[in-house]
């Protein structure tokens, strides 16, 4: 191993200093000292150090009576000087200038004056600055890593602890550092690794109810263990298994279409927690609660604005728990007309009503047997239906419309809303008893504007996904555009971000989505949150809004015509949820033309 180079006298000394001959007359030596701006110089003969000629001694001599200027240097020089050893480390030097003389022959090998020390200090400062910069980078990488990283010293006391680790264990970094690892990390084996010195790679570890893969690595220095590092590599073991399964399936068949189908299946159905992008504290916390919820059968209530990913979370919970044995049945309560709701949810028997299917039909609750029923927009559930749902929840049985045979069911209920249910209970619009039945594990998903740090991750992931779907190369995005996206408030949340990315991807021919390529309508869209928008007069704003609404109405009409009134399809094409589409249809009174 290479030894680090030490800052010794030998490394920094001047090996070719100006020297004075012992026969030189004092007036000449004085001239030399002045020219060189030195206070002393070594006197040598044949390279051997005889003594030192100092300015102060010459001045004393000159003040004596008579002309002394022709005296020889040998008579004025002194033999007392600082003798330095070549191996001395610079930090240890107390006096200057110092002379380095070879022991055996008395040859002058070099001098060390303030000049050399100054150069040494300059280099030292630069080195320190470089190290500081490097440390900043290390710290940044350490804290932005997705993996949880921690380092303990030889006593098992935490020295380093990154943000990701802090999120996994729910202990702030400041509280963790300085603590023994066992006080912070459940069932930690870092103390064991410190004792054995044997690394433990890719081990399963259960932390705060989550299954994780961890590495525990001893840190050796000079044949001694001086600490250990803990790395949390992957969030969920089940997810790894699923990823491996998906990979195996992909490898089995490599036709393009098959891959495309996988991508769209992946988008539509089997959602895992890894598919929920973002590692902001808010989203990590929501994921943590959701994971815990997945391991139980408890009812979950997800709240959050439209497009934040409520359904995405509901699916992740479904696929992470035993419920994945059954189906995930999603019902948008706002999209079903009140008259049809009962038969939709509970099903009907044959001949239950005119127009009913001959054989009868299972309702959504029945379809969700052994799986999950996701009631989206539960706040839009009519009061009459709320009472019926409460009964189903209490009895875990449904009765089809027109039937009298209760069917026992086993399902998990997840509900979601962007309304304030507490306020609705207060206003008498939502049953209090049902509310408490639903409010068992609440998960709030914050809007994208409150977790903008997730934006780059989402963009990067989506661009890769789009490249797969469109069989194209991965496209990069302009810095300026990214900045704009960062500033924008995303009222439509992740759904809006996904839609804009897809539009940009499709509209860009090359491999770089540039700011200039941004079409006018996206300019307006991204700028309207007041980030870059010029200040508009109230009148102008109203005009713009009216124009935009007209355009929106027209677009909805055209789309509905295109898909022959199929609202689910229209919502998909328009990139909005069905509930949003229904709201808009009724706001613009388009429902006269298209029956709900
Ligand atoms: N964290 C996320 N990572 C990746 N994709 C996400 C995330 N959150 C949402 N999405 C995507 O954004 C879109 C909207 O999500 P989702 O339908 O779950 O929202 P929602 O809150 O249920 O909306 P709504 O209330 O309007 O029904 C979906 O395409 C979903 O896959």
Do residues 531 and 488 lie in contact, with contact meaning Cβ atoms separated by under 8 Å? yes
Residue 303 lies in a domain: yes
Ligand 1 atom 9 nearest Cα? 309
- Per-residue pLDDT band at 567 (split at 50, 70, 90): confident
Which residues partner with 211 through β-bridges? 206
Verify that 159 and 19 share a domain, yes or no: no
Q: What is the pLDDT of residues 141-152, one digit of tens each?
A: 888 887 889 999
The CA distance from 231 to 201, in Å, is: 9
pLDDT at 523: 63
Query: How far apart are the CA of 552 and the centre of ligand 1, in A?
Result: 22
449-464 pLDDT, tens digit each: 999 888 888 888 888 8
Whether 586 has a pLDDT exceeding 90, the answer reads no
Torsion of CA 345, 350, 355, 357, to 10 degrees: 70
Establish whether the linkage from the previous residue to 97 is cis, with ω within 30° of 0.
yes
How far is it, in rounded angstroms, from Cα 57 to Cα 80?
12
Q: 322 and 409: one domain?
A: yes
Does 528 have pLDDT greater than 80?
no
Per-residue pLDDT, averaged over 96-102, amounts to 90
CA dihedral 554, 557, 559, 565 (to 10 degrees): 170
Question: Taking the chain, what is the end-to-end CA distance rounded to the nearest angstrom?
Answer: 78
Local structure of 305: helix, strand or coil = coil
Q: Is residue 498 part of a domain?
A: no
Place of tokens 């064991």: 192
Look at 475 and 394; give whichever has higher pLDDT. Answer: 394
Beta-sheet pairing, 200-207 with 210-221: antiparallel
Q: Give 375's pLDDT tier (boundaries 50, 70, 90).
A: very high
Q: Is pLDDT at 530 greater than 50 in this prediction?
A: no
Domain harbouring 63, CATH code: 3.10.580.10
Q: What per-residue confidence (pLDDT) applies to 248?
A: 63
pLDDT for 309 beyond 80: yes
* Residues 70 and 157 occupy one common structural domain: no
What's this model's pTM, rounded to 2 decimal places?
0.52
Closest CA to 498 of 529, 464, 546: 464
- 236 CA distance to ligand 1 centroid (A)? 21
Mark whether 371 and 273 lie in a shared domain. Answer: yes
pLDDT at 355 (0 to 100): 54
Distance between CA atoms of residues 294 and 520, nearest Å: 44
Pair (318, 425) in one structural domain: yes
Higher pLDDT, 533 or 157: 157
Q: Which domain holds residue 562?
A: 535-596
User: What was the pLDDT predicted at 519?
Assistant: 60
If asked whether residues 88 and 161 sit together in one domain, one would say no
Give me the percent of the chain exceeding a pLDDT of 90.
45
Q: Please state whether beta strands 148-153 and 158-161 pair in parallel, antiparallel, or not at all (unpaired).
A: antiparallel
More confidently predicted of 73 and 592: 73
CATH number, domain containing residue 206: 3.30.450.20
Fill in the DSSP letter of residue 234.
E
Has residue 483 been placed in a domain? no
Give the Cα separation of 428 and 437 in Å (integer). Answer: 16
The answer to whether position 479 is within a domain reads: no
Looking from the CA of 542 toward its CB, the CA atoms found within 13 Å total: 3
Task: Provide the pLDDT for residue 71.
Answer: 93
> Which of 341-355, 387-401, 430-444 is predicted with the least confidence, judged by mean pLDDT?
341-355
Q: How far is the CA of 526 from the centre of ligand 1 (A)?
A: 19
Whether 147 lines ligand 1, by a CB cut-off of 6 Å, is no
Q: Mean pLDDT across the stretch 87-97?
A: 88
- Helix residue ranges, H only, 80-222: 114-144, 163-169, 173-176, 181-184, 190-196
Closest ligand 1 atom number to CA of residue 311: 18
Same domain flag for 179 and 289:
no
CA of 334 to the centre of ligand 1 (A): 17
Is residue 438 located within the same domain as residue 345?
Answer: yes
The answer on pLDDT for 555 being more than 70 is yes
- Is the domain of 200 the same as that of 324? no
Q: Is residue 578 part of a domain?
A: yes
Whether 368 lines ligand 1, by a CB cut-off of 6 Å, is: no
Name the average pLDDT for the chain. 84
Q: What is the average per-residue pLDDT within 121-129?
A: 92
In a domain, 32, yes or no: yes
What CA–CA distance (Å, rounded) separates 54 from 58? 7
Confidence at 1, pLDDT banded by 50, 70, 90 = very low
Beta bridge partners of 374: 330, 414
> At residue 258, does pLDDT exceed 50?
no
* Residue pLDDT, tens place only, 330-368: 999 988 888 888 989 999 887 665 555 566 789 999 999
**Boundary (domain end) residue, out of 429, 446, 463:** 446
Burial label for 104, CB within 10 Å (0-12, 13-18, 19+), is exposed
Residue 252 has pLDDT above 90, yes or no: no
Whether the pLDDT of residue 286 is over 60: the answer is yes
Is the Cβ atom of 431 under 6 angstroms away from ligand 1? Answer: no
Average pLDDT over residues 184-191: 90
Q: What is the CATH number of the domain that holds 398?
A: 3.40.50.300
DSSP 444-505: E---GGG-GGGHHHHHHHHHHHHHHHTT-PPPEE-HHHHHHHHHS--TTHHHHHHHHHHHHH
Q: Are 386 and 430 in contact (CB under 8 A)?
A: yes
Q: Give the pLDDT score at 522.
A: 60
With a 6 Å cutoff on the Cβ, whether 446 touches ligand 1 is no
Residue 494 Cβ < 6 Å to ligand 1: yes
Q: pLDDT value at position 508?
A: 81
Atom 26 in ligand 1: which residue has the minimum CA distance? Answer: 306
Neighbours of 82 (CB within 10 A): 14
Q: What burial class does residue 3 get, using C-beta atoms within 10 Å of its C-beta: 0-12 exposed, 13-18 middle, 19+ buried? A: exposed
- Under the banding of pLDDT at 50, 70 and 90, the label for residue 292 is very high
Choose one of 446, 471, 504: the last residue of a domain: 446
Q: How many Å apart are CA 261 and CA 265, to the nearest integer?
A: 6
pLDDT value for 548: 67
Does residue 237 contact residue 245 with C-beta atoms inside 8 Å?
Answer: no
Q: Are residues 115 and 151 in the same domain?
A: no
Residue from 311, 419, 454 whose mutation best tests the ligand 1 pocket (most atoms within 8 A of CB): 311
User: What pLDDT, on a 0 to 100 scale, did the predictor assign at position 477?
Assistant: 84
Q: pLDDT tens digits, residue range 206-243?
A: 776 667 788 999 898 887 889 999 998 765 555 556 65
Q: Which of 52-66, 82-96, 505-519 has the lowest mean pLDDT?
A: 505-519
Q: Domain for residue 295, yes or no?
A: yes
When divided into structural domains, the chain yields a total of 4
Residue 266 has pLDDT above 50, yes or no: no
Of the candidates 410, 425, 446, which is a domain's last residue?
446
What's the confidence (pLDDT) of residue 68? 87
pLDDT of 186: 84
Q: What's the CA dihedral at 175, 180, 185, 186 to 10 degrees? A: -130
Q: Do 274 and 416 reside in the same domain of the chain?
A: yes
CB of 376 within 6 A of ligand 1: the answer is: yes
Closest by Cα among 49, 105, 100, 103 to 78 = 49
Q: Do 300 and 230 share a domain, yes or no?
A: no
d(CA 582, CA 586): 6
Which of 302, 308, 463 to mutate to test ligand 1, by most ligand atoms within 8 A of the CB atom? 308
**250 to 61, 320, 463: CA distances (angstroms):** 97, 21, 20
Give φ, ψ of 582 to 5 degrees.
Answer: -60, -45
pLDDT reported for residue 510: 82
Question: pLDDT band at residue 536, thresholds of 50, 70 and 90?
Answer: very low
Judged by average pLDDT, the poorest of 74-88, 232-246, 429-443, 569-583 is 232-246
Residue 429 forms part of a structural domain: yes
Which residue is closest in CA terms to ligand 1's atom 15? Answer: 309
Ligand 1 centre to CA of 311 (Å) is 6
Q: Is residue 263 pLDDT above 90, yes or no?
A: no
pLDDT at 593: 54
204, 189 contact by CB (below 8 A): no
- pLDDT over threshold 50, residue 104: yes
């Amino acid at each position: 191993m290479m030894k680090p180079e030490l800052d010794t006298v030998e490394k920094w000394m001047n090996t070719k200093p100006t020297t004075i001959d012992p026969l030189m007359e004092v007036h000449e030596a004085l001239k030399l000292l002045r020219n060189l701006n030195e206070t002393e110089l070594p006197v040598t003969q044949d390279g051997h150090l005889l003594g030192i000629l100092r300015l102060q001694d010459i001045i004393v001599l000159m003040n004596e009576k008579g002309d002394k200027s022709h005296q020889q240097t040998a008579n004025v020089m002194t033999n007392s000087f600082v003798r330095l050893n070549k191996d001395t480390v610079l930090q240890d030097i107390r006096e200057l200038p110092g002379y380095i003389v070879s022991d055996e022959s008395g040859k002058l090998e070099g001098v060390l004056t303030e000049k050399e020390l100054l150069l040494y200090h300059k280099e030292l400062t630069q080195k320190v600055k470089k190290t500081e910069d490097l440390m900043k980078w290390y710290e940044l990488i350490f804290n932005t890593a997705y993996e949880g990283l921690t380092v303990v010293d030889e006593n098992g006391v935490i020295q380093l602890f990154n943000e990701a680790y802090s999120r996994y264990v729910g202990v702030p970094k400041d509280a963790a550092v300085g603590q023994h690892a066992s006080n912070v990390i459940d069932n930690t084996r870092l103390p064991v690794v410190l004792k054995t010195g044997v690394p433990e790679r890719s081990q399963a570890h259960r932390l705060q109810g989550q299954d994780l893969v961890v590495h525990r690595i001893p840190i050796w220095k000079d044949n001694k263990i001086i600490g250990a590092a803990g790395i949390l590599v992957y969030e969920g073991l089940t997810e790894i298994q699923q990823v491996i399964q998906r990979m195996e399936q992909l490898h089995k068949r490599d036709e393009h279409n098959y891959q495309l189908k996988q991508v769209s299946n992946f988008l539509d159905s089997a959602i895992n927690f890894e598919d929920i992008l973002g590692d902001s504290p808010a989203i990590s916390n929501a994921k943590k609660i959701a994971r815990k919820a997945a391991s139980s059968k408890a009812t979950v209530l997800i709240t959050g604005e439209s497009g934040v990913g409520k359904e995405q979370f509901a699916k992740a919970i479904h696929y992470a728990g035993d419920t994945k044995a059954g189906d995930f049945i999603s019902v948008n309560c706002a999209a079903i007309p009140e008259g049809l709701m009962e038969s939709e949810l509970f099903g009907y028997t044959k001949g239950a009503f005119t127009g009913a299917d001959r054989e009868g039909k299972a309702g959504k609750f029945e379809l969700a047997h052994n799986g999950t029923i996701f009631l989206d927009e539960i706040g839009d559930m009519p009061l009459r239906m709320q009472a019926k749902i409460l009964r189903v929840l209490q009895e875990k049985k449904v009765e089809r419309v027109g039937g009298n045979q209760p069917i026992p069911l086993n399902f998990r209920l997840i509900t979601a809303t962007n309304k304030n249910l507490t306020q609705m209970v207060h206003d008498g619009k939502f049953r209090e008893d049902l509310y408490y039945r639903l409010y068992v594990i609440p998960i709030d998903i914050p809007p994208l504007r409150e977790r903008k740090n997730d934006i780059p991750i989402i963009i990067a992931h989506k661009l890769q996904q789009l490249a797969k779907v469109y069989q194209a190369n991965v496209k990069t995005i302009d810095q300026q555009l990214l900045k704009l996206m960062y500033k924008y408030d995303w009222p439509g949340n992740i759904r809006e971000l996904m839609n804009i990315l897809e539009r940009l991807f499709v509209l860009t021919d090359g491999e770089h989505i540039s700011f200039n390529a941004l079409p006018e309508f996206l300019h307006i869209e991204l700028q309207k949150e007041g980030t870059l928008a010029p200040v508009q007069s109230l009148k102008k704003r109203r005009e713009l809004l009216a124009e935009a609404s007209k355009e929106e109405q027209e677009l909805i009409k055209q789309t509905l015509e295109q898909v022959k009134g199929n609202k689910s399809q229209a919502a998909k094409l328009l990139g909005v949820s069905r509930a949003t589409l229904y709201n808009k249809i009724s706001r613009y009174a388009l429902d006269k033309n298209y029956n709900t």
